[in-house]
Chain A
Amino acid sequence: MIKTEFDYTEEISWCPGCGDYKILESLKMALSELGLDPKEVVVASGIGQAAKMPHYLKCNCVNGLHGRALPLATGIKASNRSLTVIAVGGDGDMYGEGGNHFIHAIRRNPDITNIVCNNMVYGLTKGQGSPTTEIGMKTPTQPFGVTSKPLNPLLLALSSGATFVARASAADTERTKNIIVKAIKHKGYALIDIFQPCVTFNKINTWQWLMKSTKWLDEERDASDKFEAMRLSMESSPYPLGIIYRTEPGRTFEENQAPYETNDDTPLYARAPSLESVRKLLA
């Protein structure tokens, strides 16, 4: 493992062999490769195993509520545009509890990167079914098997208007890192759903399953065809990995907001109240 400025040296509480270690490694490598100043990076999360990730990085760590990383991250970015803001969490966090925010954050298009560590299970709460769990998987709370259909995050993101949609894998830190680099550079909302084995609670979607059931797309391919992207999103044998869709991001949430209209990047904390405006309205 290469050393980066973002390395955290204290204890990490994930299980040995968990896919989250690999995702953390890809993220640190990406941040480092981009030459970002850790003081200018905010990694925001909700609650879950994956959502502990901000604590395991040396940067501004924001650990909010289960499901609420996206509104939190959106508020941060729109208050200080010079920060690099990354929202990270699990499949339950982002697609279950935070499902509504997921859809609307995409529509809103803040310039943030959304990393979802998709282990198809609730890890932290000990193995219950998640929105991406396959039908039939037996869990402590679905002892006769999950009956609801799994959600397709890529398709949902595409249909909500996302301009950068990717799927990566904890089994390939290098390629995953490359995707994170591109996602951070993408000026707008970017989704990276990352397959991540949970060695403790998911006995179906294991490391072996991951190797067997996925196939990397050509890194150089033109990913701007949305219908092709939708088709790829629906493929499952094997699941395609890589950038599924990428196009011009359009105007971001921040760009549409009054404080930044004249391209003045002054963060909101450094702006004085507009008493003159109040007086004008009282005239």
Chain B
Amino acid sequence: MDMTRAPGSDVAISFCAAAGLGLQTAEDLTRQMLSKAGYYVFSTREYMSRVRGGNNSTQIRVSTQPVRAYVERIDWLFALSPELHSNITENITEETKILADASVMEKEISSLGRKMIDLDLAKRAADLGSPKFSSMIIAGFIAGIFMLKEDSADDLIEKRFSDSDLSEKNKKAFRVGLKLGEEYVEGKPVLKIPDKPGDDEIFLDGNSAVALGSASAGCNYITAYPMSPGTGVFSYFARNAKLFSSVVEQVEDEISAINMVVGAAYAGARAMTTTSGGGFVLMCEGLSLAGITETPVVVHLAQRPGPATGLATRTEQADLELALYAGHGEFPKALYAPVNVESAFKMAGQAFYTAHKYQVQSIILTDQYLLDSGYDIKKPDPSAIPAPISPIKTESGYERYAFPAKGKYVSPFGVPGFGKGFVSFDSHEHTEDAHITEDRSLRKGMVEKRLKKLEAMAEEALPPIVLGPKKYDTAVICWGSVFEPLKEAMEIIGWKKAALVACEQVYPLSDEFCKIISSPCKKIFVEGNATGQFARIVRSLTGEKADELVLKYNGFQFTVEELVRELDKLLEKKS
């Protein structure tokens, strides 16, 4: 089985370095200049939970076709720091070209039984005036192997270094690297340039996509207590608070984070909080408060491996059941699981729409892999995100929790200070005008009022993405960020009468999804957790059991190759 695409169509470059070494410049420049030159580029990061030292890596895949997933293959490895991790060393092959400083890496590379190419970076950078130029020499080298023009990154360098002297020196370093690269490939570029419809594309990662989708939905109140990988979205808002005209507050804990957005949303803000599993658990009581008070809030739950502190900077999909059952008592909520960057933008918008339309809580489940991965996408259109729903101007005698009119699911949403009515809010079971009650029939009515919304939410639930042959005997089912690696894997396998079914909304389930699930096909669930949480939820909601589970829970995303191996086996077996 050929594990990847046709040779000559795809180049995988990995950068490895200790935290704090400043390889970011080389990575950013590589991505930007190759994208500008017309290649399709995908980038993803994996890093240790430390500020200095260790060994982190970034993978940049350059391709002649759209590329959106992580592979284990390494064609070019730029290794700046010793003690490479096994996720790198295991994937170094005969074909991998290893570029490094012999003084730093020679021993380690030869102990792996491999040869390396000495870039002599330390000396070359010193000759140029500072060890900091290493990064620029590497970027130049990469430009060289793709045979880019020597001025191809000049504008990017100028943008990066406002000081003109510094910028000139960096351009010089870039050209030094470029020469070396060109010589290395003897003038033959490693990949030909495809016809990419350039212009209206932009590089976006998951973090920016969630933030921009939320801003398009009108999010104007965001809180967080820093926790990887949930902080990226918050930082994006903090940087752009003025542009978005948004309240942005780093709070004392996640309990404050959720209660503050509940207060804000009660007063009419479009509010969101962002966190990871550990912080989300602290938000559960607040989520339940939003539930009984029918306050629209959005929670971005950026998953990382647990339990407890788990692996702070790694990825996993193990908080689905937590999210579904979060908060004591029974109340409806909507769960979205963006499958890629475009989807992250859309689902963020959808989360706000549903939260406000049904006065419920939407949870956006992402993960470290999705948030830290990016590629060029067609520029998303902010006006494609549903416009916010305005509160009504209240009349005197307004009742916040009035039983909905026939055919309606929600009480009209008023806010304090707008209109003639009082707008109240109560965490107890309450009367229609939001006062404490222990009346049994009222209690029953209020429970039913809240839960009934789920019917309409299910009717409006987003159908899954279904790819592959029209007629299939197997459904390969995933949710969230597993989608892109799985899609590439299925393309490589050649589908084999299997369809790929990916859920962007995991709760409530759409009719379309339930139909597929209850059809007689074989069901294989592919999930980034140890127990098959989505399979279990689907079974509890539909009675349909998974036939096979493909699971991963070592802190890394599935690689394309891994999925090819697994699915090839499973799809072979059935026939």
Contact present for A281 and B415 (CB under 8 Å): no
Asked whether B251 is an interface residue with its Cβ less than 8 Å from the other chain, the reply is: yes
Interface size on B, as a range, is 35 or more
The contact of A100 among B221, B256, B388, by CB within 8 Å, is B256
Contact present for A63 and B428 (CB under 8 Å): yes
Contact present for A78 and B382 (CB under 8 Å): no
Given contacts A55-B435, A258-B248, contact A268 B221 (CB under 8 A): yes
Question: Closest A-chain residue to B218, C-beta based?
Answer: A273
Contact present for B382 and A104 (CB under 8 Å): no
List the A side residues contacting B286 at CB < 8 Å. Answer: 65, 68
Given contacts A65-B427, A80-B415, contact A277 B243 (CB under 8 A): yes
Residues on A lying within 8 angstroms of B by beta carbon are 38-40, 42, 44, 47, 52, 54-55, 58-65, 67-68, 70-76, 78-80, 82-83, 100-101, 103-104, 108, 253, 257-259, 261, 267-275, 277-282
Within the assembled complex, what's the spacing in Å between the Cα atoms of A12 and B1?
Answer: 77
The residue among A71, A101, A261, A271 with the most chain B CB atoms within 10 A of its own CB is A71
Given contacts A39-B417, A273-B216, A274-B243, contact A75 B422 (CB under 8 A): no
Contact present for B259 and A64 (CB under 8 Å): yes
List the B side residues contacting A261 at CB < 8 Å. Answer: 242
Contact present for A277 and B248 (CB under 8 Å): no
Within the assembled complex, what's the spacing in Å between the Cα atoms of A82 and B241?
Answer: 21
Given contacts A71-B256, A273-B387, A277-B244, contact A60 B216 (CB under 8 A): no
Within the assembled complex, what's the spacing in Å between the Cα atoms of A119 and B270?
Answer: 37
- A139 shortest CB reach to chain B, Å: 25
Within the assembled complex, what's the spacing in Å between the Cα atoms of A116 and B385?
Answer: 44
Which of B14-22, B78-86, B260-268 contacts the other chain?
B260-268
The contact of A38 among B264, B269, B422, by CB within 8 Å, is B422
The contact of B262 among A54, A63, A75, A271, by CB within 8 Å, is A75
Within the assembled complex, what's the spacing in Å between the Cα atoms of A253 and B256?
Answer: 15
Contact present for A68 and B202 (CB under 8 Å): no
16 A-B residue pairings within 8 Å (CB atoms): A55-B435, A64-B427, A65-B259, A76-B263, A76-B267, A80-B416, A100-B253, A104-B256, A268-B270, A273-B385, A273-B387, A274-B243, A278-B212, A281-B243, A282-B212, A282-B382
Question: Closest A-chain residue to B253, C-beta based?
Answer: A100
Given contacts A75-B264, A100-B256, A277-B244, contact A61 B435 (CB under 8 A): yes
Contact present for A83 and B264 (CB under 8 Å): no
List the A side residues contacting B26 at CB < 8 Å. Answer: none
Within the assembled complex, what's the spacing in Å between the Cα atoms of A79 and B323?
Answer: 27
- A264 shortest CB reach to chain B, Å: 9
- B151 shortest CB reach to chain A, Å: 23
Asked whether B424 is an interface residue with its Cβ less than 8 Å from the other chain, the reply is: yes
The contact of A39 among B264, B271, B420, B434, by CB within 8 Å, is B420
Asked whether B220 is an interface residue with its Cβ less than 8 Å from the other chain, the reply is: yes
List the A side residues contacting B427 at CB < 8 Å. Answer: 47, 63-65
List the A side residues contacting B218 at CB < 8 Å. Answer: 271-273
Contact present for A78 and B221 (CB under 8 Å): yes
Within the assembled complex, what's the spacing in Å between the Cα atoms of A29 and B263?
Answer: 26
Contact present for B259 and A76 (CB under 8 Å): no
Asked whether B43 is an interface residue with its Cβ less than 8 Å from the other chain, the reply is: no
Contact present for B418 and A259 (CB under 8 Å): no
- A97 shortest CB reach to chain B, Å: 10
